[in-house]
Chains A and B, each alone.
Chain A
Amino acid sequence: MNFELINPQSFKELFLVLKKLKHRKYRYAAGCTDILIELKRNPEDDLTLVNLSQINDFKFRGISQTKNSVRLGAGVTANDIVRNLNIKLLYPVLWEAAYNLASTQIRQVATIGGNICTASPSGDITCALVSLDATCVIIGVHGKREIRIRDFFEGPRQTALKKGELLYEIIIPGNKKNTVKLFSSFIKIGTRRSMECSVVSIAYHIQIDGFNKILTSGFAIGAVAPTIRFTAKACDFINRKNINALTERDAESFALKVSEYSDPISDIRATRWYREKVLFNLSKSIIEDIIKCQIEVK
């Protein structure tokens, strides 16, 4: 493993660096928990790492709340999320994904920017952010642009970032004003707790009003397709339905619609068949739990 390293201290410095590196091969390094493993296994020649972890920028490292959204800097770590009680309250799905990522040691340094930009089909925090319909704020030598996170992934390890660009912030839309109850959680089925490669992961965030109507829902699946996917048709199917009226059949239809988005592979951890089964059963059980919960309340 051998590379050059540049440590910009501000974004101004970073962009000067990027201009200089225009014709060179470079990559960013944040918490380094993905990239160092990658480079240890497959060293790249003539590579320069542009280190993001010394950049002093409070937005890049901070979590802030505005009236209609929560903004997370790309340099925010999994542990920063775990410590944020607002996130635990407003977006349990995101909090759980961060809390169950890897290990105590890795959560201290692993960033959400790294989790997203590594573009793994099984990135946990990323899966949660897709379910929350988050937006990526990208900055680059040519300015700033925004893109929905569900459109950010072009394939495994491929993102919409162009040379000279990087991920700066993630914006999560605020919960609906009328939301009184949340069904929001992150489920990861894996072979071992800390393995990045889950067999199936599901992130969901369902907002319900005081009349038991589903105001809006977000559902994302990981590790069952080349990229993490937002299962829009399944969400549309339950949006605006009253949970009192949901039936067992609906749970099944919902799970079928989720499955349409999956295209899993067979590998050392699980077969395609197994992944499909787990995904279907889990999706179904989430709706069933919502139905059950309603009966208990009544």
Chain B
Amino acid sequence: MKNSDTGSFIVNFNLNGKDVKAEISASTLLLDLIRNTFNMKGTKPGCNEGECGACTVLINDVPVNSCLYLAANINGKTVTTIEGLSCNDGSLSAVQDSLVKNGAVQCGFCTSGMALCIKALMFEYENLVNSKLTGKKPKLTENDVKKWLEGNLCRCTGYVNIIKSALELINNVERKSG
């Protein structure tokens, strides 16, 4: 992967459904690769130190802080950013829709990270349901959601509506998808 003449690396990965390739330097962070090379500005730099979650992206469907992730490690993986969450026709995904409807978006700075984390929680929940031998679905509680969203700070909304969105989405998961 390394080009010894320039000290740069080539990475191949899947970004929001498209196979992409990029030349990066050793210390490039995934956050900067997404924002600067791919010009997708929905992934937000907040604290740059793993505290706020504004820079959250999904790597192979799990949420990770892109501000603390070496771009060199993204080779061969799948990345979903907020741009990849909306449907192919450009309309909002169920997560985004629910956040909007519940008034869970104020300034919007935390929203990309929140939306991706809620999406990941939906995956997590589906896996849990699928791995259960008994047919009964466990109900997600407010505390489950709070625990899951611990790494996402919001300066505006007071969290209530964000948590409400997640609960609505997941406890009715059979009716909505995406």
Interface residues of A, Cβ cutoff 8 Å to B: 1-5, 7, 29, 32-33, 36-37, 40, 49, 51, 53-54, 79, 102-106, 108-109, 193-194
Contact = CB atoms under 8 A, between A and B. Distances in A.
B65 A105 contact: yes
Given A5-B26, A106-B151, A32 B70 contact: yes
Contact of B63 (A36, A40, A108): A108
Contacts of A1: 27
Interface size class of B (residues with CB under 8 A): 20 to 34
Contacts of A37: 49-50, 68
Given A104-B117, A106-B151, A51 B27 contact: no
A40 B9 CA distance: 21
Q: Is the interface of B mostly helix, strand, loop or mixed?
A: mixed
A35 to B, nearest CB: 9
Max chain B C-beta neighbours (<10 A), residue from A33, A54, A103: A103
B48 A40 contact: yes
B1 interface: yes
A163 B55 CA distance: 35
Contact of A53 (B50, B68, B73, B152): B73
A138 B62 CA distance: 30
B64 A194 contact: no
Given A40-B49, A102-B50, A194 B150 contact: yes
A104 B151 contact: yes
A103 B26 contact: no
B7 A105 contact: no
Interface in B1-52: 1-2, 7, 9, 26-27, 29, 48-51
B112 to A, nearest CB: 13
B27 A103 contact: no
A36 to B, nearest CB: 5
A7 B68 contact: no
B53 A36 contact: no
A33 B50 contact: yes
Contact of A194 (B1, B7, B51, B70): B51
Max chain B C-beta neighbours (<10 A), residue from A7, A105, A193: A105
Interface in B51-89: 51, 53, 56, 59, 62-65, 68-70, 72-73
Contacts of B120: 104
